[in-house]
Structure 1
Amino acid sequence: MHIVNERTKGFISIIFVMLIWGSSFSVTKLVVQEVSPFVLATLRHLIASAVLLPFFLARRRKVRHALPYGHLLLMGLSGITVYYCLFNSGMRYISASSGAMIEGLIPVAIAIPAALILKEHLYSKTITGIVLSVIGVILVGFVGNAQKSDNGLLGSALMVGAVCLWGAYTLLSRSLKNMDTILVTSVSTFFGTLCLLPMFFYELYQHGMPTISAGAWAGMTYLGLFASALAYFLYNRALESLPAAQVGNFLNLNPVIGAVIAFIFLKDTFTGWQYAGSVLVIAGIWLSARSAKAKR
């Protein structure tokens, strides 16, 4: 019963993460129009760090052993510093829905290294689910995106780079699955934020502090509080209970949720290819979930 409860908590956690991160594409697209990618990444994670600090202090007092700071530094660099510099920069050049679709390629960046490095077995249904989901992402993100431009290609390349970094972050987090989730989330966030500060101050030195509207501040607060602090905690919590490949496959919900929200609030186009791709993405997630249930 304990295993079932832990798995259920893992599924609930990753579903909430998908809802939060699905909305973050549209919020980021709006904020990055008036705030540079580096300033946005830094202010967002300063907010997240402030939220996580009291939880970290309370939990750290109960832990007597030394923390793997080098490992957590790598997590902060890959999953926060470099990832969000690439992500925010990419979102300047492509639509929120296109960004969401490209992010749907993350399961490939997780599942293959997880099998090679962490020796996680890829069952046939999991492989089939990943293939279906990736085909769906290609239909939605590339075939469905008829408009091509130099900036669009640059934005797509930056997003693909972010995808690779997120795969590295996930594997690093998965290898700490027996460590307290709050400590993993907070320390990696602190390190990632610290590494953003040099770029932040350089940006201020070059251009000065930008005038930020109330709406942009609200967006950054949402991104820091929910899309960073809460979502990172829930994501690492899910990785404690579920295989990395399965958690990665749930990330394919990002294209669907992100595109729907962008369609509703930003009036992004939603083509027939995107509808067809969304069906394949959902089918892939369903197969992956059935695979994990069957093997237990």
Structure 2
Amino acid sequence: MSVSRKTVLIILSFFATYVIWGSTYMLNKIAVTELPPFFLASMRFLTASVLIFLIAKFSGISLKISLRQLKNATIAGFLFLTFGNGVVVWALKYVDSGFTALEISAQPLVVLILMRILQGKKIALMSYIGVVLGFTGIFLLVSQKELISQEGQVLGMITIFACMISWAYASIFVGTADLPKNHFVNTGYQMFTGGIILTVVSLGLGESWSLPTQWSVEVQWSMLGLIVFGSIVAFTAFNYLLKTVSPEQVATSTYVNPIIALILGWWVLDEYISLQSIIAAVILLTGVYFINTRRKFKPRPYGR
């Protein structure tokens, strides 16, 4: 591969992890206005997993895994996708997409705290500063009176935080769990098992199911973007970057995604951005920067 072609691929991959992942909040927000949340999430991940399996099969990649790997993939799929993503989609019925992305950007903070509690991992001085800044940013974000007074906002914020804990624990779990070596196959099984559980939850809650032909054009395009670009293209780009550039450079998506989500939510969905939200975003993302640079945190794509 020539240097120029490699440079183009790196630029395109960063564009995918920055913009596509940043846009998934808006796409989910559009889709959940019309579709039940757990049905929406299940269709996204089941369809994406089938496409991943087909791509892997035609590429000559083995889909064979052990029973233990399947069990671990199911656990990860539940933590990352069934609870971690499905409940966030539900919360988007009440919370703005940009606000959701900002709150979720504190995930490295939750990971750090859980690693301290569960593994006894020492926290460096710079990370302590990041923790203080992170909590300050979250407090400023969730304490806005104009948000708290809106129906369902508080419940939405609490459930999103619960999802962050699920993602954080899953990030620690997959670090030591026996999972398929191929990242593409690993994600395929996590999406498939997570999608199956989401289907069970959706049917158990009595959500109404519908065919894509019954959806509005906006929802059809949103689901296409979530499945093809959000679940497959961006993840492939993510793995390519991990093999090509440093983890610290890849981790910059943690700071860029919420900014993209805020801009798209304001521009496309007419979501309101207060001055306090902007200040909270700056403080929160600065805290995440301190945590990431000290811990060399590797971002996980599953919750997006």
1:54 equivalent in structure 2: 54
1:140 equivalent in structure 2: 141
3-state secondary structure, aligned to 2:152: helix
3-state secondary structure, aligned to 1:251: helix
What's the offset of the Cα at 1:41? Answer: 0.6
Q: Which amino acid aligns with 1:271?
A: S
Q: Describe how 1:4-23 pairs up with structure 2 within 5 A.
A: 16-23=16-23
1:112 aligns with 2:113: yes
- Output the CA distance in 2 between the equivalents of 1:120 and 1:232: 29
The one of 215, 229, 234 aligned to 2:232? 229
What's the offset of the Cα at 1:172? Answer: 2.4
- Output the CA distance in 1 between the equivalents of 2:271 and 2:202: 31
TM-score under structure 1 normalisation?
0.78
Q: Is the 8 A contact 1:128 1:287 kept in 2?
A: yes
2:5 equivalent in structure 1: none
Encode CA deviations 1:218-260: one digit per residue, 9 max, x unaligned: 10111112222344455677789749xx95x963544333222
The more displaced of 15-24 and 48-57 is 15-24
1:78 equivalent in structure 2: 79
- Output the CA distance in 2 between the equivalents of 1:289 and 1:200: 36
Could you say if the C-alpha distance between residues 112 and 147 of structure 1 is closer, same or farther in structure 2, counting changes exceeding 3 Å? closer
Q: Describe how 1:44-193 pairs up with structure 2 within 5 A.
A: 44-57=44-57, 58=59, 60-61=61-62, 68-117=69-118, 121-143=122-144, 145-176=146-177, 179-193=181-195
What's the offset of the Cα at 1:118? Answer: 5.1
Q: Which amino acid aligns with 2:155?
A: L
Consecutive unaligned residues of structure 2, counting only runs of 5 or more, are 1-8, 297-304
Consecutive unaligned residues of structure 1, counting only runs of 5 or more, are 1-8
- Output the CA distance in 1 between the equivalents of 2:279 and 2:187: 36
What's the offset of the Cα at 1:37? Answer: 0.4
Sequence identity percentage: 18
Q: Root-mean-square deviation (CA), in Å?
A: 3.6
What's the offset of the Cα at 1:74? Answer: 0.4
- Output the CA distance in 1 between the equivalents of 2:82 and 2:135: 26
- Output the CA distance in 2 between the equivalents of 1:91 and 1:161: 14
Could you say if the C-alpha distance between residues 109 and 252 of structure 1 is closer, same or farther in structure 2, counting changes exceeding 3 Å? farther
Q: Is the 8 A contact 1:173 1:236 kept in 2?
A: no
- Output the CA distance in 1 between the equivalents of 2:70 and 2:132: 36
The one of 267, 272, 275 aligned to 2:270? 267
Q: Which amino acid aligns with 2:283?
A: L
The more displaced of 191-200 and 62-71 is 62-71
- Output the CA distance in 2 between the equivalents of 1:178 and 1:147: 43
1:35 equivalent in structure 2: 35
Q: Which amino acid aligns with 2:175?
A: R
What's the offset of the Cα at 1:28? Answer: 1.2
Could you say if the C-alpha distance between residues 64 and 235 of structure 1 is closer, same or farther in structure 2, counting changes exceeding 3 Å? same
1:219 aligns with 2:186: no
- Matched length: 281
- Output the CA distance in 2 between the equivalents of 1:236 and 1:171: 18
What's the offset of the Cα at 1:82? Answer: 1.8
Q: Is the 8 A contact 2:105 2:285 kept in 1?
A: no
The one of 274, 277, 280 aligned to 2:283? 280
Could you say if the C-alpha distance between residues 252 and 133 of structure 1 is closer, same or farther in structure 2, counting changes exceeding 3 Å? farther
Could you say if the C-alpha distance between residues 148 and 182 of structure 1 is closer, same or farther in structure 2, counting changes exceeding 3 Å? same
Q: Is the 8 A contact 2:106 2:288 kept in 1?
A: no
Encode CA deviations 1:58-96: one digit per residue, 9 max, x unaligned: 465397877622111100111111222211110001222
Encode CA deviations 1:242-291: one digit per residue, 9 max, x unaligned: 49xx95x9635443332222112212111211222222234334434543
Could you say if the C-alpha distance between residues 21 and 135 of structure 1 is closer, same or farther in structure 2, counting changes exceeding 3 Å? farther
